[in-house]
Amino acid sequence: MYAQMVKTDADKVKALQEMTPEERAFQERVDRGEKIEPKDWMPEGYRRTLIRQIGQHAHSEIVGQLPEGNWITRAPTLERKAILLAKVQDEAGHGLYLYCAAETLGVTRDELTERLLSGRMKYSSIFNYPTLTWADIGAVGWLVDGAAIMNQVPLQRTSFGPYSRAMIRICKEESFHQRQGFDIMMKLARGTEAQKRMAQDALDRFWYPSLMMFGPSDKDSVHSAQSMSWKIKINTNDELRQKFVDQTVPQAEYLGLTIPDPELTWNEAKGGYDFSQPDWSEFFEVLAGNGPCNADRMEARTRAWEEGAWFRDGLMAHAKKAAARRAAARHAAE
């Protein structure tokens, strides 16, 4: 299933002179910074790559509700509970914007869900880790949403119009998510010794999985070169990972917490931190379905899909009836 992770010659980006006239005109539009809209001509690979990336992103938003949903009933105060509920609802909304953007490329939401449930599509590796304590909800907001924003802010400039517009709306809400996570961490880090230990433990467990969210290192990234030439992606995985580390280390210092990386040092020459890479074999194991929560997440999504069938059928039946009534009314008025 993960054979596509092996780099091949097929990943080579075509030079302008190797392209058909249509491909070349398309590439020139992208290079000029024009947005590509759903009805415009596009190479099949561009369409496929967008469906894969947007679909994976949409699935991540939906699956990402599960580890946080786990704490709604156990949030420590009514206020924290209301905030967490709002955040989890936002994520459902993000999933919907993204499924809509993918649908403009000629794939239905149902097809995307079926591809996820049959293992042909992925969601972000991060959601295969459990949220064991309340501090994990802080770490998810601070680190996971922080990493998501780092990735998504440049995607506001992505070349595909509907994706770019979805990202603009999503980014506005993500920054609130990140701040609520940091706020939880701040309360714990300034709390009792036990609370501080809880915050440190959450950082210890979420640090490397958060670094993995940016994808494999550039040398192992299968899609980056082509996606960047199409401006589906704006930065490489390593560039964003570096920016994330540089942004997060001072925040950890402010909290009085320690990043669990003895190699972490400021590198004056590069103007950024040197840091240890995550254990990439763990990342590939998680992608292969062997992370701590893969089975639970897929089971929850499958159950939701099956148990929601009657509701989807009801909506379709209602839409058909309403359309028939509208058609009959139009007919009568003519």
- Where do contacts with ligand BYC occur on this chain (CB under 6 A)? 4-5, 52-53, 56-57, 60-61, 64, 91, 122, 124-125, 144-145, 148, 151, 212-216, 221-224, 227, 233, 237, 287
CB of 55 to ligand BYC, least distance (A): 9
CB of 162 to ligand BYC, least distance (A): 14
| Residue nearer to ligand BYC on the CB measure, 148 or 199 | 148
| Residue nearer to ligand BYC on the CB measure, 93 or 256 | 93
The structure tokens listed for 214 are 């940016």
| Residue nearer to ligand BYC on the CB measure, 64 or 189 | 64
CB of 150 to ligand BYC, least distance (A): 10
| Residue nearer to ligand BYC on the CB measure, 169 or 320 | 169
Residue with the shortest CB distance to ligand BYC: 64
CA distance 98 to 24: 28
Structural contact between residues 202 and 139, judged by C-beta atoms closer than 8 angstroms? yes
CB of 332 to ligand BYC, least distance (A): 48
CB of 203 to ligand BYC, least distance (A): 16
Among 312, 294, 252, CA closest to 127: 294
What is the C-alpha radius of gyration for the chain, rounded to an integer number of angstroms? Answer: 22
The structure tokens listed for 28 are 């020139």
CB of 291 to ligand BYC, least distance (A): 10
CB of 233 to ligand BYC, least distance (A): 6
| Residue nearer to ligand BYC on the CB measure, 20 or 290 | 290
